Structure 1
Amino acid sequence: MLTSLPPSILRLTATASAILFVLLYASTTVSATDHIVGANRGWNLGINYTLWANNHTFYVGDLISFRYQKTQYNVYEVNQTGYDNCTTEGAVGNWSSGKDFIPLNKAKRYYFICGTGGCFSGMKVSVLVHPLPSPPHSSLAAEHSSDTSASSAVYGGGVEVIGAVLRMFVVAIWCGSGWI
């Protein structure tokens, strides 16, 4: 049935489909942050990891990465007691690849230490992971629930943008525009 349509309409339909796919994909993707412990200095002695952690905001779904010489150091996830006392007893996880990517899947405080003795020299870090922020809610949306532009401003307009793009293509098809 589509083969009986003029080529310009077929191109327009294909273009509309591609743009719609890109808009839907872009509006649903969430990017996680990879927090590299110690930044370019990595997981090593002589770094203030408390200061490093305080300069980052961690959210559920982010990663925390440890980069180090695997023959010298490692990483253990421990509880607060293990963190405070530099002990690995009862550790929740341990890594030793030298390039460890650890997902932060829960909103809670995580504790990581070096289990080869580096913890006693400051190789330990504690990070507080926050839940993902909720979409913004505003009284502006309630006051202007019938006003599409107001809801677009409040909610980012993902659905409204898609609707506007589709309306534009329908008008172009209806009017027989040759702009595509």
Structure 2
Amino acid sequence: MPLSSKTLLHSFPSYNNMASSSCSFSSIIFLVFLLLPIFSCLQHFSMASFDFQVGGTKGWIVPTPNDTNIYNDWASNNRFQVGDTIYFSYKKDSVMEVSEKDYKECNATHPTFFSNNGNTIFKLDHSGTFYFISGASGHCEKGQKMILRVMVQDQYLPQHAKSFGYHDAITPFGVFGMFFFHFVLECVASFVI
């Protein structure tokens, strides 16, 4: 059955009802232009990369016999993202990135990365697993080795949302964004209903 123009007019709220609602179109536009620069700045800060000192204050050393898993424990207590940087601080030693097989065998003959400058900087440039060992004779066998996993990035979330080594905290952008999104939905709903 076709709708008459009178029926259509009664099915939508009048302009007076919209103006008296808690949100007006002009207030939504004002908030968008007011908050957009703030959200842009917060998004910029949430995409920063982070720097990690391998092993914390101990640095890259031969672990004690009762603490041979020190580096894997350290790596598993942190969350790494693409773009983060790790620092190896050591004396009279070296650091190598190797394959999983060479890691398990403590084989230092085919590294994909090698440094022995005492303050090695390594950029985590892709997601996945990295394997590091000491190149000094006998050090790897004593536990100076580390498996580090870089998280796969979710394309729908900010690159970094981190607090003190953890990238999975909610960023300021996420908190304010949720409130703003909720406000806009309520305003749109008040116009439609």
Q: When the two structures are superposed, what TM-score results if normalisation uses the length of structure 1?
A: 0.60
> How far is the alpha carbon of 1:65 from its aligned partner?
1.1
Paired residue for 1:33? Answer: 50
Unaligned runs of 5+ in 1: 1-19, 138-149, 161-180
Match of 2:146 among 118, 125, 137: 125
Number of aligned residue pairs: 124
Matching of residue 59 in structure 1 with residue 113 in structure 2: no
Taking a change above 3 Å as real, the CA distance of residues 25 and 55 of structure 1, as seen in their structure-2 partners, is same
Separation in 1, partners of 2:41, 2:176: 20
3-state DSSP of counterpart to 1:31: coil
> How far is the alpha carbon of 1:132 from its aligned partner?
2.7
Q: Is the 8 A contact 2:39 2:177 kept in 1?
A: no
Paired residue for 1:152? Answer: 177
Paired residue for 2:155? Answer: 134
Matches within 5 A, 1:29-178: 29=45, 30-46=47-63, 48-69=70-91, 72-117=92-137, 118-136=139-157, 152-153=177-178
- Rg: which structure is higher? 2
Q: Which fold has the larger relative contact order, with Cα–Cα distance below 8 Å and residues 6 or more apart in sequence?
A: 2
> How far is the alpha carbon of 1:27 from its aligned partner?
3.1
Taking a change above 3 Å as real, the CA distance of residues 61 and 37 of structure 1, as seen in their structure-2 partners, is same
Separation in 2, partners of 1:110, 1:25: 32
Separation in 1, partners of 2:112, 2:157: 35
Taking a change above 3 Å as real, the CA distance of residues 114 and 135 of structure 1, as seen in their structure-2 partners, is same
Tell me which stretches of 4 or more aligned residues in structure 1 moved more than 6 Å: 20-23
> How far is the alpha carbon of 1:152 from its aligned partner?
3.0
Unaligned runs of 5+ in 2: 1-35, 159-174, 185-193
Provide, for residues 16-54 of structure 1, a one-character-per-residue CA deviation record: whole Å limited to 9, x for no partner. Answer: xxxx98874553342111121110000001151111111
CA RMSD of aligned residues (A): 2.9
3-state DSSP of counterpart to 2:135: coil
Separation in 1, partners of 2:135, 2:123: 20
